[in-house]
Amino acid sequence: MLRDPVFISDLHLCAQRPRTLARALAFFDGTAAGHAELVILGDLFEYWPGDDSLDAQTPDDDVARTVAAALRRLADRGVAISLIHGNRDVLLGPRFAEASGVRLLPDPVVEQVGGVPTLLSHGDAYCTRDTAYQQFRLQARDPRFQAAFLARPLAERRALIGQARAQSEQEKQRLAAEIMDVTPEAIAQAMRDAGATQMIHGHTHLPGRHAFPLDGREAVRWVLPDWDEDTEPARGGSLAVVDGVLTLR
């Protein structure tokens, strides 16, 4: 059971978004410190080439060390931090977890939130109409593929990730918006299988609360906002219990 949690996702932290990074660090030291638990539902970083990047010397590696240190300070203050991998940072591993003090969770996972069984996920698994992406997702999360990828030199990994990101942006331009959103049937089946009446996820960058009938009961799906302070209008926020009610803020 999660005690007084605050949920965030899709911060996409990197050196190219300094204002977003500053907001995240302020959030960790401020808002998150006022809760018993912080739950990060994926894409904390814009990309993660492997835990050995904590030793490297690029601007993004400086960001990685800064974020890990900020999370460690938060954990040392007694805040329990949990993290589900996103599609951008699927390679976050045990060394990052140790450095930052986070607990890595499977995707999906069921937790009690306010006494309600709640399915937590990054959310990309439920964008089932994007079949090309689902094939890529399956490969990227295969332990054998990850081991082979991590065996490559760090610079080569960065280059390959950069190519994949560029290709992904091109694909987004041609795909209809509904294809990149979650499929309602996939959401309903996942909640049914998990025995959950509530779900919290990110990934789609379409924040909101969605209530719908599920096997004769009302179910609720919360979508977390993505963060970007470096464009206009700025975006971001979190989900937490306010006056006894889950609220996006």
- For residue 193, the model assigns a pLDDT of 97
Give the total number of structural domains in the chain.
Answer: 1
- Residues 221-238 have pLDDT tens digits of 999 999 999 999 999 999
Under DSSP, is residue 111 helix (H, G, I), strand (E, B) or coil?
strand
Greater model confidence, 170 or 152 = 152
Q: Name the percent of the chain lying above pLDDT 90.
A: 90
Comparing CA positions, the residue from 131, 136, 243, 120 lying closest to residue 190 is: 120
Mean pLDDT, range 115-119, rounded to an integer: 96
- For residue 169, the model assigns a pLDDT of 78
Kindly report the CATH number assigned to the domain that includes residue 137: 3.60.21.10
pLDDT band at 175 (very low <50, low <70, confident <90, very high): low
Cα distances (Å, whole numbers) of residue 124 to 56, 203, 215, 240: 29, 6, 24, 22
Residue 5 class from Cβ within 10 Å (0-12 exposed, 13-18 middle, 19+ buried)?
Answer: buried
Q: How many CB atoms lie within 10 A of CB 247?
A: 14
Mean pLDDT, range 105-122, rounded to an integer: 96
Residue 180, domain extent: 5-248
Cα(63)–Cα(69) distance, rounded to whole angstroms? 10
Q: Give the pair of three-digit tokens for residue 58.
A: 């690029």
Contact between residue 207 and residue 200 where contact means Cβ atoms under 8 Å apart: no
Mean pLDDT, range 138-145, rounded to an integer: 97
- Residues 38-97 have pLDDT tens digits of 999 999 999 999 999 999 999 999 999 999 999 999 999 999 999 999 999 999 999 999
Mean pLDDT, range 130-145, rounded to an integer: 95
Q: Give the pair of three-digit tokens for residue 248.
A: 């996006």
Amino acid at 222: W
Q: What share of the chain is helix, strand, coil (3-state, %, to 5)?
A: 40, 25, 35
- Residues 6-17 have pLDDT tens digits of 999 999 999 999
Average pLDDT, the chain: 95
Claim: this prediction has a pTM higher than 0.85: yes
- Residues 51-63 have pLDDT tens digits of 999 999 999 999 9
